[in-house]
Amino acid sequence: MTFDALEAYRRMYLIRKVEDAIAERYHEGKMRLPVHLSQGQEAGAVALAMAMRPGDKLYASHRSHHPYLALGGSVERLIAELYGRPEGATGGWGGSMYLFGADVGFGGSFAVVGDCISVGLGAAWAFHLDTLLGASDEGRAAWVLFGDSAPEAGQFWEALNFAALHKLPVVFICENNGIATQTPQAQRQPPPAIWQRVAPWMSSQHVSDRQGVEAVYNCIMAARESAPAFVEIQTYRYREHVGPNASPEHDVTDAIKTDPLQRLENQLIANFAGVHKLKPIWAVANEAIMQAFEKAEAAVMA
């Protein structure tokens, strides 16, 4: 599939603005639940979503807004979920960490570190058995998106073992932002890098989202073709582990200078000799966000 830079920008911009709006309104106390925001990490989820094919399923960790929206999940249903409304993605019961969107291929997100890996592996096993039994055409894949603390869970390595042994159609994608809650990776894991530790098990690659979303997309596409496979995406999150405040854990000043969304925006402006192609994207996203919050807040007031 040819990479569509404008479509990638549309999805990344929407995610960034949705989460900016959540952060701006969170202090009002109407969203009575923890939120794990992903500003700065949009490129990986968008590249992954654009690489998926019909029938594929994605399973994610507690930091789930960006994969849900990258797949085309409803902004209105996401915001309603954060307000505890029955119109939400899980009827207002799951909240930020338990999103679900079967209509867009989102098999769910899971609060416990590593749980998405086990569930995603189960989906891959089911796809594999369906193919062996002739119940479906070959080609479906399971995708699993998680953070850099997941490799500290035993089920991570158990899943790699099972996937490699049975050659399952699964791609494990680690968003490594270098921090788990407040502890840097160097204080939690010995060298070498995660992708290097995985390499003896299966095809394993490393890419930085600071190289641009297209580079991430190309890496993920290659991984899909060689599944089972593993991709480690070096990234940053600009806000704290949970909540709307700026990250106190590490300095993101330099990272913001190479922000993947801004980099792509600059590239598109240069390609199109102006912002005329981007303005409709801004308008549609901002209108959808405004309407989603207005509807959720009106329902709470009622």
Question: What would the pLDDT profile of 196-215 be if each residue is shown by its tens digit?
Answer: 999 999 999 999 999 999 99
Q: Please give the Cα distance from 98 to 103 (Å, whole number).
A: 16
d(CA 67, CA 58): 8
Residue that the structure tokens 């035993």 belong to: 154
SS (H, E, C) 29-84: CCCCCCCCCCCCCHHHHHHHHHHCCCCCEEEECCCCHHHHHHCCCCHHHHHHHHCC
Domain boundaries of the chain, sorted by first residue: 5-296
* Contact present, 82 and 37 (Cβ < 8 Å): no
Supply the pLDDT for residue 175: 97
> Quick check: helix, strand or coil at residue 224?
helix
Q: What is the reported pLDDT for 302?
A: 59
Q: How confident is the model at residue 188 (pLDDT cuts 50, 70, 90)?
A: confident
- d(CA 105, CA 134) in angstroms, rounded, equals 22
How far apart are alpha carbons 194 and 177 in whole angstroms? 12
Q: Which amino acid is at 96?
A: S
Give the pLDDT mean for 271-282. Answer: 95
Mean of the per-residue pLDDT values for the chain? 94
CATH superfamily of 5-296: Thiamin diphosphate (ThDP)-binding fold, Pyr/PP domains (3.40.50.970)
**Angle CA(156)–CA(158)–CA(163) in degrees, nearest 5?**
95
**Residue 172 dihedral angles phi and psi, to the nearest 5°:** -95, 125
Cis omega (within 30 of 0) for bond into 192:
yes
Mean pLDDT across 237-251: 84
Per-residue model confidence (pLDDT) at position 76: 98
Strand, coil or helix: 232: strand
In sign, the C-alpha dihedral spanning 104, 110, 113, 119 is negative
- Using one digit for the tens of pLDDT, what is the confidence trace for 159-168? 999 999 999 9
Cα Dmax for the chain: 57
Whether residue 6 has pLDDT greater than 90: yes
Which candidate, 42, 73, 218, 54, places its Cα nearest to that of 145?
42
Residue 170's beta-bridge partner residues? 142
Burial of 152 (0-12, 13-18, 19+ CB in 10 A): middle
E strands present in 148-276: 170-176, 179-180, 183-184, 203-208, 229-234
